Amino acid sequence: MMYKTIFKCRYILAVMVFCALGQVRAQKTSFQPGKLWFDNNQRLINAHGGGVLYHEGKYYWFGEHKGEQSNAAWVGVTCYSSADLYNWEDEGVALAVSKDEDSPIVEGSTIERPKVIYNEETEKFVMYFHLELKGRGYEAAHVGIATSDNPAGPYQFIKNGRVNSGKWPSNMTEGQRTSTDKPDDYEWWTKEWMNAIENGLFVRRDFKAGQMSRDMTLFVDDDHKAYHIYSSEDNLTLHIAELTEDYLDYTGKYIRIEPGGHNEAPAIFKKDGRYFMITSGCTGWDPNAARLLTADHILGQWTLHPNPCVGKDAELTFHSQGTFILPVAGKNDAFIFMADRWRPENPIDGRYVWLPILFEDGMHILQWSNQWDLSVFDQLD
């Protein structure tokens, strides 16, 4: 009798363990925004402020490695790969921080929002990221550039700095370029100061040293020209700068968008020849309402539209901040809005909010979904 009971218990235990393992190992078939997301090793995906590159049938997700204590970079940029966007394999560290105190990417510097694009001519993978120098808070406002021969890396750090020094944005008038007022002439946040900002006060201030570059993304257009889109002018104005053919430098051509509009977290996609950009406002790690901008030419006139989010918590972008818009390979007009739910008190616990971009009444919208899969796009095919 006793043996029978022990045997029964063991059997039940074995079944339970088997089921639990099956559960853990089960392939994911949907997105669950805001929920814990594990990689193939059952470890939490650690790729915040990320972006995705699609190359030869595989997606590569790059992001900031975060620890429990600080938002600074102690590891570097991580990479995960996937064939289906739901299940991700850990590819390790794509760009490692340096131990050398003289390196701009030394341990303890700040590396945010890495994005990777592929240059078909040079066959190089090119990574851009927001770099803040160790011990200097957010004042450096640099872009960092690294390259690799392989999508998952390792990436070699090439250079860092401000952007487009000695160049004027093409949509700044002669009067704005030659104005002689100085930042010290104004009290911050007054109407006059805001007016001066809109008229290029900080562009002139940073003309020689180069323009500030913080939150950022990259975009490769159909003609293979690439663009760096970044929050500049103390986060008050977005810039879009054209890159050279090898994607390693700037051509000097750039525009300002929404001067004084306070846009961060730019993410962009192109549909039917039109450019759509979703940004956030500037409230540190706290979420705020997203904004939508459209343009017919990437370096043309951009128009601001209302918040693309609808429904509960729309005014807080569902408690998240955008980082990238991912075009789904093989599907028409299928775009995923990737966002971060930051947890600055325990950065590693930041969550990923991925939502499909839907189309309603001629405009793109984002609405919350606890769980969804790529079939939502089939109705658009």
Nearer to ligand DGJ by C-beta: 206 or 215? 215
* Token pair recorded at residue 72: 């600074």
Query: What's the number of CA atoms in the CB half-sphere (13 Å) around residue 353?
Result: 21
- Within 85-124, the residues that bind ligand DGJ by CB under 6 A are 112-113
Q: Can residue 49 be called a binding residue for ligand DGJ (CB under 6 A)?
A: yes
* Tokens read off for 183: 């930042």
**286 near ligand DGJ (CB under 6 A):** no
CA neighbor of 235 nearest in space, from 139, 345, 135, 341: 139
Q: In the complex with ligand DGJ, which residue's Cβ is closer, 284 or 306? A: 284
If binding is defined by CB under 6 A, does position 265 make contact with ligand DGJ? yes
Considering the complex, what minimum distance in angstroms separates the CB of residue 317 from ligand DGJ? 11
Strand order through the sheet with 363-367: 309-310, 363-367, 358-360
321 makes contact with ligand DGJ (CB under 6 A):
yes
- Residue among 264, 309, 338, 369 that touches ligand DGJ (CB under 6 A): 264
- Least gap, CB of 323 to ligand DGJ (angstroms): 8
CB atoms within 10 A of CB 13: 10
Q: Per the omega criterion (within 30 degrees of 0), is the bond before 356 cis?
A: no
Instruction: Please report whether residue 76 would count as binding ligand DGJ according to CB under 6 A.
Output: no
Going from the C-alpha of 18 to that of each of 12, 41, 87, the distances in angstroms are: 10, 17, 21
Q: Residue 220: helix, strand or coil by DSSP?
A: strand
Residue 346's SS3 state is: coil
Phi, psi of 205 (to 5 degrees): -55, -40
The three-state secondary structure class of 112 is strand
For residues 203 and 339, which CB has a smaller minimum distance to ligand DGJ in the complex? Answer: 339
Closer by beta carbon to ligand DGJ, 39 or else 112: 112
Q: Does 234 bind ligand DGJ (CB under 6 A)?
A: no
Query: Cβ distance 150 to 235 under 8 Å?
Result: no
For ligand DGJ, give the closer residue by CB, 233 or 242: 233
**8 Å CB contact between 340 and 321:** yes
Applying CB under 6 A, what is the total number of residues that bind ligand DGJ? Answer: 9
- Rounded least distance, CB 215 to ligand DGJ, Å: 5
- Residue among 295, 215, 223 nearest 255 (CA): 295
| Residue 215 contacts ligand DGJ per CB under 6 A | yes
**Residues between 334 and 353 that touch ligand DGJ (CB under 6 A):** none
Residue 334 CB, shortest distance to ligand DGJ, in Å, is: 25
Q: Is 306 in the site for ligand DGJ (CB under 6 A)?
A: no
Q: Which is nearer to ligand DGJ, 173 or 283 (CB)?
A: 283
Per CB under 6 A, residues contacting ligand DGJ are 49, 112-113, 215, 264-265, 284-285, 321
